[in-house]
Structure 1
Amino acid sequence: MAQDLDKILGGKYPAKAHANRVADLIKARGGGDSGIIYIEGQKTRMIEDNDGPMPFRQRRNFFYLSGCELPDSYLAYDIGKDELTLFIPPIDPESVIWSGLPLSAADALKKYDVDVVLPTTDVNGYLAHYCSAEAGANKVFAIPDQVSSEITFLPFKETDFDVLRPALDTARVTKDAYEIALLRQANNISSAAHTAVLKAAKTAKNERELEAIFISHCMSQGCREQSYHPIFASGESGSTLHYQKNDDDLIDASTGQKKLNLLVDAGCESRNYCADITRVCPLSGKFSPESRDIYNIVLEMQMASLAIIKPGVAWDDVHANAHRVAIRGLLRLGILQGGDEQEIFDKGVSVAFFPHGLGHYLGMDTHDVGGNPNYNDENPMFRYLRLRGTLSPGGVVTVEPGVYFCRFIIEPYLSSAELSKYINAEVLEKYWSVGGVRIEDNVVVTEDGYDNLTTAPKSLEDIERLASGQA
Structure 2
Amino acid sequence: MAETLPTLLPAPSSILSEKYPSKAHARKVANLLPTTNGTIYLESAPLLLLPDSDSEAPFRQRRPFFYLSGCPLPDSFLTYHIPTNTLTLFIPPVDPESVPWSGLPMSVEEAQAQFDVDEVRHTNDPKPLGAEGGLVYVYTGDGQVSRSLGVSPENINRSQLKPAIDEARVVKDRYEIALLERANEISSYAHNYVLKCAHSMKNEREAQALFEAICLANGATGQAYNGIYAGGRSAATLHYVKNDASLLSVNAPDGGKEKPQLLLVDAGCELRCYASDITRVIPLTPDSKFTQEARQIYDLVLQMQKECMAMVKPHANWEEIHRHAHRVLIQGFLSLGIFKDGSVEEIMDARTSCAFLPHGLGHWLGMDTHDTGGHANYADTDPMFKYLRVRRPLVEGAVVTVEPGVYFCRYIVDGYLAEEKHRKFVDEGVLARYWVVGGVRIEDDVVIEKEGGRSLSLGAVKEREEVEMLAGQRGTPGWCNYL
TM > 0.5 = yes
- Where do 1:277-356 residues align within 5 Å? 277-284=278-285, 285-356=288-359
Shift of 1:108: 0.3
Match of 1:177 among 146, 170, 174: 174
Q: Does 1:188 align with 2:189?
A: no
Equivalent residue for 1:63?
66
Which amino acid counterpart does residue 8 of structure 1 have in structure 2? Answer: I
- Where do 1:68-467 residues align within 5 Å? 68-123=71-126, 126-128=127-129, 131-132=130-131, 135=132, 137-144=133-140, 146-155=143-152, 158-254=155-251, 257-284=258-285, 285-454=288-457, 455-467=459-471
The separation in 1 between residues aligned to 2:466 and 2:9, in whole angstroms, is 23
Which amino acid counterpart does residue 200 of structure 1 have in structure 2? Answer: C
The separation in 1 between residues aligned to 2:161 and 2:10, in whole angstroms, is 36
Shift of 1:194: 0.5
The separation in 2 between residues aligned to 1:240 and 1:253, in whole angstroms, is 16
Report the secondary structure of 1:354's partner residue.
Answer: coil
Equivalent residue for 1:38?
41
The separation in 2 between residues aligned to 1:3 and 1:213, in whole angstroms, is 21
Shift of 1:138: 2.4
User: Are the equivalent residues in 1 in contact too, given 2:221–2:272 (CA < 8 A)?
Assistant: no
The separation in 2 between residues aligned to 1:253 and 1:158, in whole angstroms, is 62
Equivalent residue for 2:23?
16
Q: Which range moved further: 151-160 or 365-374? A: 151-160
The separation in 1 between residues aligned to 2:152 and 2:416, in whole angstroms, is 61
The separation in 2 between residues aligned to 1:253 and 1:19, in whole angstroms, is 53
CA 1:3–1:237 in structure 2 vs 1: closer, same or farther (change >3 Å)? closer
Shift of 1:256: 5.3
The separation in 1 between residues aligned to 2:308 and 2:154, in whole angstroms, is 51
The separation in 2 between residues aligned to 1:387 and 1:277, in whole angstroms, is 18
Report the secondary structure of 1:121's partner residue.
Answer: coil
Unaligned runs of 5+ in 2: 1-7, 476-483
Q: What is the alpha-carbon root mean square deviation over aligned residues?
A: 1.6
Q: Which range moved further: 103-112 or 256-265? A: 256-265
The separation in 1 between residues aligned to 2:67 and 2:86, in whole angstroms, is 16
CA 1:464–1:270 in structure 2 vs 1: closer, same or farther (change >3 Å)? same
Q: Provide, for residues 410-458 of structure 1, a one-character-per-residue CA deviation record: whole Å limited to 9, x for no partner.
A: 0122221221010000000000000000000000000120111002000
CA 1:412–1:149 in structure 2 vs 1: closer, same or farther (change >3 Å)? closer
Shift of 1:461: 0.4
Equivalent residue for 1:25?
32
Report the secondary structure of 2:68's partner residue.
Answer: helix
Shift of 1:252: 2.5
The separation in 1 between residues aligned to 2:125 and 2:86, in whole angstroms, is 16
Q: Provide, for residues 382-403 of structure 1, a one-character-per-residue CA deviation record: whole Å limited to 9, x for no partner.
A: 0000110000111100000000
Report the secondary structure of 2:51's partner residue.
Answer: coil
The separation in 1 between residues aligned to 2:250 and 2:48, in whole angstroms, is 43
The separation in 2 between residues aligned to 1:2 and 1:401, in whole angstroms, is 31
Shift of 1:144: 2.4
Shift of 1:370: 0.4
User: Are the equivalent residues in 2 in contact too, given 1:391–1:445 (CA < 8 A)?
Assistant: yes
Report the secondary structure of 1:66's partner residue.
Answer: coil
CA 1:197–1:100 in structure 2 vs 1: closer, same or farther (change >3 Å)? same
Shift of 1:224: 3.5
Report the secondary structure of 1:57's partner residue.
Answer: coil
- How many positions carry a matched residue from both structures? 460
Q: Provide, for residues 349-378 of structure 1, a one-character-per-residue CA deviation record: whole Å limited to 9, x for no partner.
A: 100110000000000101001011011112
The separation in 2 between residues aligned to 1:65 and 1:150, in whole angstroms, is 19
Which amino acid counterpart does residue 267 of structure 1 have in structure 2? Answer: G
The separation in 2 between residues aligned to 1:435 and 1:352, in whole angstroms, is 13
User: Are the equivalent residues in 2 in contact too, given 1:153–1:159 (CA < 8 A)?
Assistant: no
Which amino acid counterpart does residue 263 of structure 1 have in structure 2? Answer: L
Q: Which range moved further: 142-151 or 318-327? A: 142-151
Q: Provide, for residues 166-185 of structure 1, a one-character-per-residue CA deviation record: whole Å limited to 9, x for no partner.
A: 00000000000100111111
Unaligned runs of 5+ in 1: none
Q: Provide, for residues 318-347 of structure 1, a one-character-per-residue CA deviation record: whole Å limited to 9, x for no partner.
A: 100010011111110000111011100011
The separation in 1 between residues aligned to 2:411 and 2:71, in whole angstroms, is 45
So what's the TM-score if we normalise by structure 2?
0.93
The separation in 2 between residues aligned to 1:43 and 1:318, in whole angstroms, is 41
The separation in 2 between residues aligned to 1:210 and 1:57, in whole angstroms, is 24
The separation in 2 between residues aligned to 1:329 and 1:6, in whole angstroms, is 41
Report the secondary structure of 2:265's partner residue.
Answer: strand
Equivalent residue for 2:14?
7
Q: Which range moved further: 109-118 or 220-229? A: 220-229
Report the secondary structure of 2:330's partner residue.
Answer: helix
Report the secondary structure of 2:169's partner residue.
Answer: helix
Q: Which range moved further: 230-239 or 152-161? A: 152-161
